[in-house]
Amino acid sequence: MRSGADFIVVGGGSSGCVLASRLSEDPDASVLLLEEGPKDSSPWIHIPVTFYKTSKGNLVKPYRWTPNAEHLGDPEPTMVQARVLGGGSSVNAMVYLRGQPRDYDEWRDAGAEGWGWNDVLPYYKRCESNDRFANDLHGTDGPLPVSDQQFTHPMSRRWVQACQQAGLRYNPDFNSGDQEGCGFYQINARGGRRGSTAVSYLGPARNRRNLVVKTGVRVLRIIFAGQRAIGVEALVSGRRTVLHAGGEVILTAGAINTPRLLLLSGLGNADKLTRLGIPLTQHLPGVGRNLQDHIEVSLIHEVNGPFSYDRYKKPHWQFLAGLEYLLFRRGPCTTNVVEGGAFFRSSLNDDRPDLQCCFMPGAGVEAGLDTVPGGNGTTLNICQTRPRSSGWVELRSADPLEAPIIRPNYLQEQYDLDVMCEGVEFGREIMSQPVIAKYLSREYAPGPVRSRAEVLAFVKSQAHAALHPMGTCKMGSDDMAVLDPELRVHGIDGLRVCDNSAGPNLVSGNTNGVAIMIAERAADFIAARHGFISGRMADARNRIGPSARP
């Protein structure tokens, strides 16, 4: 294994694969991408419908999180993070969303100068290869496939009609900047295959001589010379190894592991690091704080016939669907199951949507959710898109192999509870509309729940993480900011964070697209910093000075 490179990218997930691919486009820049998990060789990764296998198998790593008083469910709850090349883009449901323009304008207003909607839109367009839209809002020539569903279940179509009967307008494009309404999600897939960043970005780059990708490597900490990052210490084949970075160390390990690595490397709250016996590199009290994540609850209904994907649990239906896929690359195996969606407003936020629905014509698709006694069911996930509750990630000890303490503080704010209750109530209204109600025999969850107090109890006991963590190394200029607007760690030279940790606030919707956009922007920042156009890496490195707080 090469002992170093100009750029060491730590974390081969959605952001890391994008960044490694973009940086290695310059033949004079050597790039080393390190991923703790395995290669993306499992066949279940690449068949869209089998995401339910990858999202709860050995390609994800469970972390226990500490519940607060508002959480009345599992006393030892877990969240999972991807542990495979491609990261979340290899195991998620492939839903492609950007959020709302105001999400990014609020990033800019929070100190992330240059990250407003008009600033980030060109990078969303750059990444996209959209198979339906070709306009000022979408790209058609990017690496990332963004496609309509090849197969849509009739029950999903009925559900979108039910949304319209409940008063929502049809929205043909949730990524236009106007998110409100109901419709069908576009997904990161094409030709019946998942379009992860490992496939779409890293795949075409794998034969470049200046790019090395190593899986099964666990990074333990960052190595510094004074206030400059010069490499990482990692477990390679069970042995501690130092890998040197001539240009930069770039963390793309996600909103849980990126702050963990910074803390292990002496970047964080000075008092807390001292108590753990970790030598201080830079006092940055915001590292690991500001943890934000979406929370959701599921409404589950029993269907009065074989009118859902649950019929494919029977062997003969599985055989027929599999045969159609193998022969023609079409049919139900090409779906991500999460076909229909909607965004709407609670009464507490009357200027833009703050609730999201994801409809699945099946029950028990996601980990932790029940099937129904009758065998055929539907699931409607209700998600609050901009919660006010926030938490933190901290170290248990100085041991780099010990899991961190994760305290998301889900539903700690009464506002979040009130919004979620309204979401449940409107979700039930959708499911009661005639176009879909005639196919439903009963509501399995929440069940016999009627009063607001009962709905509140249901939310507290059944809410679960949507697994979209952000914000733990936020950009900005305040005392709790960790990064400058070019994603450089304050006070440290040669170190950046280029994943969803960087976002000051959670965006409205699924976050995989955000991670890709951030990496696309980061590639431009790094190229400009190191003079990629001239290709004179050595000269560029001599010109680099430490980043400082503005």
**For residues 422 and 424, what is the distance between their CA atoms, to the nearest angstrom?**
5
**For residues 338 and 93, what is the distance between their CA atoms, to the nearest angstrom?**
7
pTM confidence score: 0.94
| pLDDT interval class at 367 (50, 70, 90) | low
**CATH number of the structural domain 150-184+292-388+412-462:** 3.30.410.40
In this model, does residue 57 exceed pLDDT 90?
no
In this model, does residue 547 exceed pLDDT 60?
no
Q: Amino acid identity, residue 57?
A: G
Task: Check: CB of residue 235 under 8 Å from CB of residue 224.
Answer: no
Domain ranges of the chain: 150-184+292-388+412-462
**For residues 13 and 198, what is the distance between their CA atoms, to the nearest angstrom?**
8
In this model, does residue 545 exceed pLDDT 60?
no
**For residues 308 and 306, what is the distance between their CA atoms, to the nearest angstrom?**
6
Specify the pLDDT at position 74. Answer: 74
Task: Check: CB of residue 125 under 8 Å from CB of residue 142.
Answer: yes
Strand partners, 7: 31, 248
**For residues 331 and 34, what is the distance between their CA atoms, to the nearest angstrom?**
36
Name the nearest CA neighbour of 260 among 497, 521, 19. 497
DSSP structure class, residue 95: B
Strand partners, 258: none
**For residues 321 and 310, what is the distance between their CA atoms, to the nearest angstrom?**
13
537, containing H or E segment: helix 537-542
| pLDDT interval class at 538 (50, 70, 90) | very low
In this model, does residue 26 exceed pLDDT 60?
yes
Task: Check: CB of residue 505 under 8 Å from CB of residue 240.
Answer: no
Name the nearest CA neighbour of 430 among 359, 529, 508, 338. 359
Specify the pLDDT at position 426. Answer: 98
Specify the pLDDT at position 370. Answer: 58
Per-residue pLDDT of 467-511, as tens digits, reads: 999 999 999 999 999 999 999 999 999 999 999 999 999 999 999
Torsion over CA: 178, 179, 184, 188 (sign): positive
| Average pLDDT across the chain, whole number | 93
Per-residue pLDDT of 185-230, as tens digits, reads: 999 999 999 999 999 999 999 999 999 999 999 999 999 999 999 9
Compute the average pLDDT of residues 382-398.
Answer: 98
Torsion over CA: 410, 356, 427, 380 (sign): negative
Q: Amino acid identity, residue 527?
A: A
| pLDDT interval class at 72 (50, 70, 90) | low
Task: Check: CB of residue 417 under 8 Å from CB of residue 456.
Answer: yes
Specify the pLDDT at position 369. Answer: 57
Maximum alpha-carbon separation in the chain: 71
Per-residue pLDDT of 516-536, as tens digits, reads: 999 999 999 999 999 864 233
**For residues 299 and 446, what is the distance between their CA atoms, to the nearest angstrom?**
6
Compute the average pLDDT of residues 326-352.
Answer: 95
For residue 22, CA distances in Å to 396, 491, 519 come to 36, 26, 9
| pLDDT interval class at 543 (50, 70, 90) | very low
**For residues 546 and 469, what is the distance between their CA atoms, to the nearest angstrom?**
29
Percent of the chain residues topping a pLDDT of 70? 94
Specify the pLDDT at position 365. Answer: 65
Residues 6+ apart with CB under 8 A from 366: 52, 55, 56, 298, 379
User: How many Cα atoms are found within 13 Å in the side-chain-facing hemisphere of 411?
Assistant: 28
* DSSP SS3 for 274: helix
Compute the average pLDDT of residues 272-284.
Answer: 98
Residues annotated as catalytic are 468
Specify the pLDDT at position 544. Answer: 33
Q: Amino acid identity, residue 472?
A: T
Cα R_g (the chain), whole angstroms? 23
Per-residue pLDDT of 74-112, as tens digits, reads: 777 888 999 999 999 999 999 999 999 999 999 999 999
3-state SS track over 166-213? CCCCECCCCCCCCCCEEEECCECEECCEECCHHHHHHHHHCCCCCEEE
Specify the pLDDT at position 366. Answer: 60
**For residues 109 and 476, what is the distance between their CA atoms, to the nearest angstrom?**
9
Per-residue pLDDT of 156-171, as tens digits, reads: 999 999 999 999 999 9
Residue 430 tokens read as 């959708």
In this model, does residue 264 exceed pLDDT 70?
yes
| pLDDT interval class at 371 (50, 70, 90) | low
DSSP structure class, residue 403: P
Specify the pLDDT at position 195. Answer: 98
In this model, does residue 546 exceed pLDDT 50?
no
